[in-house]
Amino acid sequence: MLLFLLRRVKMLHAVKKVLIVYAHQSSGSFNAAAKDTAVEALKAQGCTVEVSDLYAIKFKATATAEDITGDVKNADHFRYAEETKLAWEEGKLSADIAEEQRKLTWADLVIFQFPMYWFTVPAIMKGWFDRVLTLGYAFTQEKRYSQGLFKGKKVMLSFTTGSQESMFSADGINGDMNVTLWPLQNGILHYCGFQVLAPQIFWAPSHVPSEARSAMLEGWRTRLQGVMQEKTLSFTPSDCFDGEKGFQLKPEVHEQHAATEYGLTAGIHLGKVLPPNDQMKAGV
């Protein structure tokens, strides 16, 4: 019994530092309420929470040579990834990038809170991804996906939609939300090694009564009470691919799944039916 209690205490104290990267222009928005709810719920658990309010700090969205202090290596043919890698190594990244990297390095859990714009994140948050997740710091050719540099960190998307849930279904006009989320959750978060938690989606809050919005926030608060113990989404491990053959799925992995009904993931589907809720729920 004592051993169980000790393990329980260790688990509850395992993740304490949370970064919320928040993108909305209005403090009166539902996104602001979701962000505030998360701060309150997490602090109530004893977590330390930092918030990067991107609009408030006027975070620059464009990735340019201005992100490097001093001279660049090749001004005639400026290559952002290579130049920022060198700048990161030499401590010459701009102050705003360095500050966001400090927060990200510090955090155990990162929550991105935003309204979905055009099936993806707002431009200012895309700029955060482009500028903060620099080559060398966030990924390398050797350290990515399941071998990624951030594999010790958890992350999740929390966002609002302008459309109802039915419109983002497999037979809805917007298409399957699992497909929509694949570039964000696999192509950015998993690519950098994050352990990706299932997204928190607030379906069309502007089109429902205030009571329903309150219920959404209460559900979010409840979820956050156990978020540290949630299972993460599943992605195909890097060692399932042959790096000498263009990182194609290895023949033996193909054979193992030849008789299965579904593909491996929403993106690596093998020409089969997409696995249900692959990007929406853990353990499916």
Query: Comparing C-alpha atoms, which of 264, 202, 228 is closest to residue 108?
Result: 228
Same domain, 242 and 141: no
Q: Is the predicted pLDDT of residue 12 greater than 80, yes or no?
A: no
pLDDT digits (tens, 9 = 90+) for 97-133: 999 999 999 999 999 999 999 999 999 999 999 999 9
Q: Which residues pair with 139 in a beta bridge?
A: 135
pLDDT digits (tens, 9 = 90+) for 49-66: 999 999 999 999 999 999
* pTM for the full predicted model: 0.93
Same domain, 103 and 194: yes
Residue 62: count of CB within 10 angstroms of its CB: 10
Q: Is the predicted pLDDT of residue 258 greater than 90, yes or no?
A: no
CA pair distance 116, 31, nearest whole angstrom: 10
Which residue range forms the structural domain that includes residue 60? 2-232
Q: Is the predicted pLDDT of residue 1 greater than 70, yes or no?
A: no
The residue out of 232, 253, 276 marking a domain boundary is: 232
Same domain, 43 and 170: yes
Same domain, 263 and 161: no
Task: For residue 140, report the phi and psi dihedrals to the nearest 5 degrees.
Answer: -140, 175
Q: pLDDT-derived band of residue 146, with 50, 70 and 90 as boundaries?
A: very high
User: What is the reported pLDDT for 77?
Assistant: 94
pLDDT above 90 as % of the chain? 88
The residue out of 210, 232, 254 marking a domain boundary is: 232
Average pLDDT over residues 38-42: 97
The residue out of 232, 255, 274 marking a domain boundary is: 232
| CATH number of residue 59's parent domain | 3.40.50.360
Same domain, 135 and 265: no
Same domain, 98 and 6: yes
Same domain, 227 and 247: no
- String of DSSP letters for 117-172: BTTB--HHHHHHHHHHS-BTTTB-SSS-GGG-TTTT-EEEEEEE-SS-GGGGSTTS
Same domain, 186 and 265: no
Same domain, 207 and 239: no
Same domain, 163 and 254: no
Q: pLDDT-derived band of residue 244, with 50, 70 and 90 as boundaries?
A: confident
pLDDT digits (tens, 9 = 90+) for 182-230: 999 999 999 999 999 999 999 999 999 999 999 999 999 999 999 989 9
The number of distinct structural domains making up the chain is 2
Same domain, 59 and 172: yes
Same domain, 244 and 222: no
Residue position matching structure tokens 């006027």: 58
